[in-house]
Each structure stands twice: as C-alpha cells, then as structure tokens.
Amino acid sequence: MKQLIQSFKTGELGLFDVPAPVCEKNGALVQTTVSLVSAGTEKMLVDFAKKSMIAKAKDRPDLVKQVIDKMKKEGVRNTLEKVFTKLDTPIPLGYSLSGRVVQVGDELSGINIGDRVACGGAGYANHAEINYVPKNLMVKIPEGVDDIDASFVTVGAIALQGVRQTAPLLGEKVAVMGLGLLGQLTVQLLKANGCKVIGSDIDPDKMELAKKLGCDEVCHASELISKCSEFTGGHGVDAVIIAASTSSNQPITDAAEISRMRGRVVLVGMVGMDVPRNTYYKKELEIKLSMAYGPGRYDPEYEEKGIDYPYDLVRFTEQRNFEAFLGLIQEGKITPKELITHSYDFDEAMKAYDLLEGRIQEKYLGIVLEYKREINLEVEKIVQRSEKKISNDKVNVGLIGAGNFTKSVILPNVQKVGDFELVGLCTATGVSAQGTGKKYDFKYITTDSDEIFKNSEINSVFVTTRHNDHANKVLKAIESKKHCFVEKPLCIYEEELESIKEAYTGETVVQVGFNRRFSSMVEKMKKSLSGQISVNYRVNAGIIPKEVWIQDRTIGGGRIIGEVCHFIDTCSYLIGSEVKSVFATTVNKADQSIPDEDNVNIVLNYANGSTATISYYAYGDSSMPKEYIEVFASGVSMQMNDFRELTIFKKGKSTKEKSANQDKGFVNEFKAFKEAVKSGNESISFESIYNTTKTTFKILESIRSKSLVEV
C-alpha cells in the first residue's frame, strides 16, 4: 500500500510503498476513502522538517539542553549517534479521515467489517491507504453524511472543543480571530449555538466565505478593535476565540482590547503568548487554552488502550466530540464541503503539498485526498525492497521491532561488527518499516512476523518488540530452528520462562541483550577476580512516569523485570556463579503501605558463597552518573563509574582508566552473538539466562512476602 511520509531530518516528502499495519486487539484496520490535509498544522510540520539542523535547534532549545546533558553522561560520539538516528526517523502526515473497516480487533465491539467510520489522531489517521485506528479514535458515520464531509472530523472536534472551552451562552457576542479551517468551523458552531459572531482575518476571500456561511460581521484584522466596538455598542465581546496561527503576540493583545469586563479568551491556534497583564488584570479576563480534540488527547490509556472516561464525569471526550460534530453535519448546521478549495486523487497527493509550499500559486483552504484503489489486505503485508542474493556464510537476520533503542543502538552496532546480512524487517507500522528498511538495506519489509519465521534465508531472528511479546517470539524462533537474539528481558511471566526452558534444546542459540557483561571495563574487572566475591551495584535509574508502557505490568513487566535483570546478570558474570536466594526491600510510600518497586534494595546470595547488593533508585537527581559498581575480592578492590572510569586497587597501588565515551558492551555483545551462531557455542549459557530471569520474579516475591526467597 502507499503512504505519505516525510523525513524529519532532510524534509524529503513522498508517497512510499509500505506494508499494511497490524490490527491490534483494541481497534480496527480502516481502508481510507477520503483524508483531509490540515493546511495549517501540516504546513507547519513540513516547514519545520525542511529547516537546517541549526534552525531546528533554535526552535527547540529544550531539546538542545537534553542533548548537552546526555553528552556529559554518555560522551559526545554516543550521543550524536543517537540524536542523528532520532532525526532520521520518518514521520507520517495526516490526522483526519473517513473510510471503511476491513479488519476488526479481537476486543473491539460495536464496529463491524464494512462499517463507514470517521477517524482522528496524529499517527493513526494518516494519509495512507490503510490505517490502524484504536477504538476511541473512530466513530461510525451517520446516515446522510458522506465521506468527504466526515473526513473533517478531527478539525471539527478541535473547533468544537474550543467552543466548549468558551462556554458560550445563547445570544452572546463572540469574536473569532483567524478564518482558516478552524475559524470557519468555529463560526458555524457558534451560530449553531445561537451566538452573534464577528470574524476577522487578513484574507478578503476568507472573510467573504465566513459571511456566506453565517458570520454576522467580518472585518480585516487591523480593523477588529473598532469593528468590535461598533458590533457590541462599546461594551466589548463576551468571548474571543483565537483560531489564528502566527508567532506574533498581536492576537492575544487585541483579544484583551475587544473583550468586555470579565470576558473570556480561548486559544485554539498557535500564537504568541506574552500576555499583557495590565489589560487582562484590569478587565479581570479569563484566559483558557483548548487542548486539541478534547479530553483523552495525549492520554495513552484512553487513546491506545481504549479505556473510556465515565460518561457522567466527562461528558465530551474526543470521541464524543467526533460524534457531536458528525451529528451537526447530519442536521445541516455545519457544511464542511463548502470549505474545500482543492481535491486530489491520492496518487497525486504531492500536488497538495506543492500548493502548501507555494510551488502552485493558488489560494487554498480545505484540501482533500480521495482514495480509489481497491486493496487486498493479505497482499499488502509485505513489500520487497531488493533482489539481493543472501549467502549462508553470514548471520542472516530477520528483525522484529524497530523502536528508538533498536534504531539508535542495536542496528548501528550490528553494522559496526559486520558479517550480518539484514534480510527481513517486521514492524507494527509501515512508516517505521519503510524508513529503517531503506536506511539499513533490508531485502524486504513486512508487518507480519510469520514472514520472518517462515523465510528460509533467515537463520537468526532479532526480537526487539515490547516486553510482553518477547516470550512468544522466542518460542517461535526455537520452533523454527532459528538462532535468536532477544532484547532484555527474556519474558515477563514465570510460566513463560518455564515454557521457554522446556522448548529450548540447545540446537540453536538464544542470547538475551545483557550487554553490560561485554563492556571492556567489566571484562577487565572479571579477569582480576577469583574466589568469593562481593559486589555493590548502585543504579541512579531516574524517574519513568507510571503511564509509560514499561511500568505496565502486562506490557513492560515493570522496572525490576524490565531493567534490573541487566544488573543481576552483570553481578552473576563477575561472580561466576548462580543466584541461590534473594531478599529485597523497597521504600514504602508515606501515605500508604504500597511498596515502591522503582526504589529497591536487593541482596543476592550465590551458590559459591559470594554476595551482591543492587541498590536501584528512581528518586535521585539525574545529574549523578547512572551506574556505579564496587567489587571486593581476595587482594583486590575495584570501582567502575558509569562505564567511563575504572579504578583497580591491588597490592597497595591503584591503576585508573578513563574513556571519553561510554562502552556498555554493545559492539562486543553482537560480536559474541555472531561467534555463537557460527560456532554453535553459547555466548551466555542458557542456565545463566534462566537463573537471571527467574531471580527477577523472586525479587518481586520477596518484596511482597518481606522474606528471603530461594531461587
């Protein structure tokens, strides 16, 4: 299938062949019939992507600061590699469409194959022939509303949410500043609400259109103050909705001038926000920002998982705003089709962006793309990129998952090692597959993981998906007799671990991404150790918000399973033995007796009599280096600071080694995997992987039981 994609790094924009997305359980696959080009929002994105690196940095000083902080911790080279990888990530365009349902998720009810639906949401309602849309970001299109009108659903919800924030009363006089798509729809919504409306813009054609669509009075932006005085008899308007898009501070200044005492000002568009305090203070004005489509926006629980807000407490969510807007179209109170100035077949979508960027010298307002090609979903799940020949003397990789870590760490380091042939790439979305497939020259890209496991050219599968998917893919790799590298953790449930142990035969390699044991500094520490050993491992882990997926027990497994496994493995590698028992304790929250698993102290007892303590803290200051290891053994002590500094104390002397960049072992990790595949000898024994993973489950058990637990 085809999708409109732009490179965030270079600004390159085009229609690309990508595999159709996966249908998740809480949503549906929708074949697009019409999508709306939001001229303001999309032009801003396109213009920003085409800026130079310096111009991008000037626009986002907050991100520049993050980069500088990361350089201090990880080194300049490592940080720049990650930054350039992030910038190289392609971005989908579009966020409002109508279409027909072609596949339904297992847990989606009320929507059937063949239903006409209107969909919204950046990253979901893309300019693409097929999109995956979660259930709370789609609504059925009512009878009497055609697909073209319904394609305005997201912009309509944005305008509707702005009106809701204004809370207009019947008969009030309201000013709308900016008569683009949002402004025109806002005017119609206010009129449907029984208000008197004055609109302003700098374009006479937009002013004329607003008048035609029911606006009581229109004027040039420069005349707004005097016209509002006439319009209200000198009292000032009851409310102002700013729907303009400009970096200028003039709209928010003018809004105060035209408002009555105790009026309301609502910002829907992106404008300068240097609020003139005196004017707002003396009139006691209320100022509000309207958040996109309504309640639920930016909430992954609502948008991704489909968890709705209670109807009686949140009457109008973004989905209910979608429904309300379509209802107003059905009643004839809103007429989106009258805002359309240009319509293109999707195959000619680039003409729409020529229009936005000024290469076509025509005025525009509403721009729609119409999709006419019939789609065979099964055929669209794989895209062949090249016909390159694959030899059997390399590690031939099928990669499943291409998130930020995979693109910024795994793939660049695999390239450095060499002797890896990248054959098949499977991701959940076509955008990710297209960008990564092109950059790393994968032979084909797909959204169906079965295309990886059944491919005879692939001898090794890399699994870098979210944690809840790891066990299933590892088991499939074992069953398919393919070697498997799985990013940590191996799995997130103990029963999954036992299933993998039962399936594992040793015929193929299974390696978990425990990279720290392959760090050059950790390897030097290991060479100086013998006998019984004590390890202290302190981790200044930093805060991860509870809404982030890794904190979700059913998806990420939580931080102990998802990250502490790293530090257990490193301790076990240094000690050279397996954990036999564990005791763990956590900080208890002051207001309740709930253990805080983000801040935990762990004591590990090993079969050879050694011990290790892991102190894992999220609540510290981020400027402190993340990881610090102390090791004590017979006649030797060591300190390793964040993989950049190692000090070894031996025979009354100390030797110190420093590195400009962190070496967390990624290159050596993939060298080890390559050698393991070629020789058949494990780089990390399966028994060690099993013991480390089981220990994470026993840590959780110890926290709950407040007792020592045998592993």
* Lowest mean pLDDT segment, chosen from 137-151, 173-187, 194-208, 292-306: 292-306
**Nearest alpha carbon to residue 36 among 179, 160, 149, 144:** 149
Rounded to an integer, what distance in angstroms lies between the CA atom of residue 24 and that of residue 104? 8
Alpha helix segments (H runs only) across 203-243: 204-212, 224-232
* Lowest mean pLDDT segment, chosen from 62-71, 303-312, 533-542, 544-553: 62-71
Reported as a single tens digit per residue, the pLDDT across 189-236 is: 999 999 999 999 999 999 999 999 999 999 999 999 999 999 999 999
Tokens encoding 54: 């310096």
Domain with CATH 3.90.180.10 in the chain: 2-140+335-370
Rounded to an integer, what distance in angstroms lies between the CA atom of residue 125 and that of residue 155? 12
Domain with CATH 3.40.50.720 in the chain: 156-289, 385-465
pLDDT at residue 432, rounded to an integer: 84
Tokens encoding 544: 């991860």
- Whether 272 shows a pLDDT value over 70: the answer reads yes
Reported as a single tens digit per residue, the pLDDT across 238-259 is: 999 999 988 899 999 999 999 9
Banded pLDDT at 64 (limits 50, 70, 90)? low
Rounded to an integer, what distance in angstroms lies between the CA atom of residue 248 and that of residue 537? 52
**Nearest alpha carbon to residue 439 among 398, 504, 391, 385:** 385
Domain with CATH 3.30.360.10 in the chain: 516-710
* Lowest mean pLDDT segment, chosen from 10-14, 85-89, 657-661: 85-89
Share of the chain above pLDDT 70, in %: 92
* Lowest mean pLDDT segment, chosen from 3-17, 303-317, 610-624: 3-17
Alpha helix segments (H runs only) across 134-175: 147-150, 153-166
pLDDT at residue 79, rounded to an integer: 62
- Tokens 């319904």 locate to 150
- Whether 182 shows a pLDDT value over 80: the answer reads yes
Burial class (CB in 10 A: 0-12, 13-18, 19+), 706: exposed
- With both helix axes pointing from N to C terminus, report the angle between 153-166 and 181-192 in degrees, rounded to the nearest 10: 60
Which residues does 485 contact at the CB level (< 8 Å), separation at least 6?
Answer: 460, 461, 462, 463, 511, 513, 670, 673
CATH for 516-710, among 3.30.1360.70, 3.30.200.20, 2.102.10.10, 3.30.360.10?
Answer: 3.30.360.10
**Nearest alpha carbon to residue 619 among 544, 560, 537:** 544
What is the Rg, in whole angstroms, of the alpha carbon atoms belonging to the chain? 29
- Tokens 């993340």 locate to 626
Are 150 and 118 spatial neighbours (Cβ–Cβ below 8 Å)?
yes
Q: In the predicted model, what is the mean pLDDT of residues 277-281? A: 94
* Lowest mean pLDDT segment, chosen from 243-252, 318-327, 577-586, 693-702: 243-252
Rounded to an integer, what distance in angstroms lies between the CA atom of residue 426 and that of residue 469? 13
By three-state DSSP, how is residue 414 classified?
helix
**Can you say how many angstroms the Cα of residue 198 is from the centroid of all Cα atoms in its chain?**
40
pLDDT at residue 637, rounded to an integer: 96
Tokens encoding 146: 């055609």
CATH for 156-289, among 3.40.50.720, 3.30.465.10, 3.40.30.10, 3.90.1150.10?
Answer: 3.40.50.720
Amino acid type, 629: I
pLDDT at residue 294, rounded to an integer: 93
pLDDT at residue 186, rounded to an integer: 98
- Whether 664 shows a pLDDT value over 80: the answer reads yes
Reported as a single tens digit per residue, the pLDDT across 390-408 is: 988 899 999 999 998 999 8
* Lowest mean pLDDT segment, chosen from 75-89, 374-388, 507-521, 528-542: 75-89
CATH topology of domain 2-140+335-370: Quinone Oxidoreductase; Chain A, domain 1 (3.90.180)
pLDDT at residue 14, rounded to an integer: 87
pLDDT at residue 193, rounded to an integer: 95
- Whether 81 shows a pLDDT value over 70: the answer reads no
Banded pLDDT at 588 (limits 50, 70, 90)? confident
pLDDT at residue 430, rounded to an integer: 85
- Whether 270 shows a pLDDT value over 90: the answer reads no
pLDDT at residue 49, rounded to an integer: 58
Rounded to an integer, what distance in angstroms lies between the CA atom of residue 109 and that of residue 114? 14
Banded pLDDT at 429 (limits 50, 70, 90)? confident
- Whether 691 shows a pLDDT value over 70: the answer reads yes
Q: In the predicted model, what is the mean pLDDT of residues 17-32? A: 95
pLDDT at residue 705, rounded to an integer: 92
Q: What is the CATH code for 385-465?
A: 3.40.50.720
What's the mean pLDDT when you consider all of the chain?
92
Q: In the predicted model, what is the mean pLDDT of residues 569-588? A: 95
Q: How large is the greatest C-alpha to C-alpha distance in the chain, in angstroms?
A: 93
Rounded to an integer, what distance in angstroms lies between the CA atom of residue 104 and that of residue 102? 7
Neighbours of 655 (CB within 10 A): 10
Rounded to an integer, what distance in angstroms lies between the CA atom of residue 2 and that of residue 513? 35
Rounded to an integer, what distance in angstroms lies between the CA atom of residue 163 and that of residue 191? 11
Length of the chain: 711
Query: Which pTM value belongs to this model?
Result: 0.85
- Tokens 């690309």 locate to 16
Banded pLDDT at 286 (limits 50, 70, 90)? very high
